[in-house]
Amino acid sequence: MVFTTKDFADYINANYVAMKLNGDTDLGRKLRNNWLVPGYPTMVLFTAEGEEIDRIVGFGGKKDEYFQTVKDYTNGKNTLKDLMVQVENDPNNARLYFDIANKYNDRGEDEKALHYYEKVLELETDHSSDMYLQAEYNVAESKAYAADNPDYLQHYAKTCTDDNLKYYAYSSLARFFRMKKDQANVISVYEEALTALPDNASMMNSYAWYIFQNEVSDYYERGIEIARKAVEIEPEADSIWDTLGQLLFAAGYTDQAIEAMQRAVDLAPDETSYKNNLQRYKSARS
């Protein structure tokens, strides 16, 4: 992650040695596997001795909240270590078990995460609460990864009635098969997901991006179809226009790729990669 605000950048530089890694390079893949990084972006904070303090997976767009979390973790507040101390003093607090489970989940420690999610189901009395429903999903996910068996997630994805949790279940199931390099099942999961969630532009973009990134040339036309539908649903999503542009260019539709990438540039003029892609496409046409 690039720290574009001065106060954030100054804080990071004062407390850490910052290093940005591309997870798709040889070194990036090695370190990503070592640290069990679940997705992008992920920030992992370490002590000077190399011990993980904590990590933040994803970015919800709230910069001030993100910055505060970094400061809290740096000061030892709400880290995994801190929560473990808290739960010793309050052993019937379902929320603490839930937060600890999420920490282990973000670290890829599925068996430990499963133990704490199951404690949430045991302690939480409101079975309709968001926390309980989320824990149910995470139990299915943790069992799938801990047992190396996708059946738990597949059953959950098919029977879950909450669209957000269904989205997470299918996304995790696709990741399960991606990690195994099982392309046929990745595609099957995405197709099933789009049948279950026909208007979910994020799922469409994930599928289309998978097709592009893995050069599944037999599915380029399918990827383009999906990405076009996604930008119809979310026309202001620059990342989806980027996906569409990259697929169009890969499939040989240079003029259409230029149009799509131009939309991405217009929507996010500060994103250098879009500009570079656009220039590359224009150069290829000439």
237-248 average pLDDT score? 97
Q: Collapsing DSSP states into helix, strand and coil, what is residue 255? A: helix
Q: CA 286, CA 273: separation in Å to the nearest integer?
A: 20
Sorting pLDDT into bands at 50, 70 and 90, what band is 1?
very low
- Report the range of poorest mean pLDDT among 49-63, 175-189, 259-273: 49-63
Q: What is the per-residue pLDDT for 40?
A: 80
Sorting pLDDT into bands at 50, 70 and 90, what band is 163?
very high
Residue partners of 8: CB distance under 8 A and separation at least 6: 63, 67, 70
- Report the range of poorest mean pLDDT among 34-43, 48-57, 123-132, 163-172: 34-43
263-267 average pLDDT score? 97
Q: What is the per-residue pLDDT for 19?
A: 82
Q: Is the pLDDT of residue 53 over 50?
A: yes
As a whole-number percent, the residues of the chain with pLDDT over 90 amount to 77
Q: Collapsing DSSP states into helix, strand and coil, what is residue 54? A: strand
Higher-confidence position of 82 and 9: 82
Q: What is the per-residue pLDDT for 94?
A: 98
Q: CA 140, CA 151: separation in Å to the nearest integer?
A: 9
pLDDT in tens, 95-126: 999 999 999 989 989 889 999 999 999 999 99
Q: CA 33, CA 23: separation in Å to the nearest integer?
A: 9
In this prediction the pTM is 0.74
Q: What is the per-residue pLDDT for 260?
A: 98
126-136 average pLDDT score? 94
- HEC sequence for 184-214: HHHHHHHHHHHHHCCCCHHHHHHHHHHHHHC
CATH classification code of 1-76: 3.40.30.10
79-149 carries CATH number 1.10.10.10: no
pLDDT in tens, 190-222: 999 999 999 999 999 999 999 999 999 999 999
Q: What is the per-residue pLDDT for 3?
A: 61
Q: Is 166 left (phi over 0), alpha (psi -120 to 50) or beta?
A: alpha
Q: What is the per-residue pLDDT for 38?
A: 80
CATH classification code of 201-286: 1.25.40.10
Q: Is the pLDDT of residue 2 over 70?
A: no
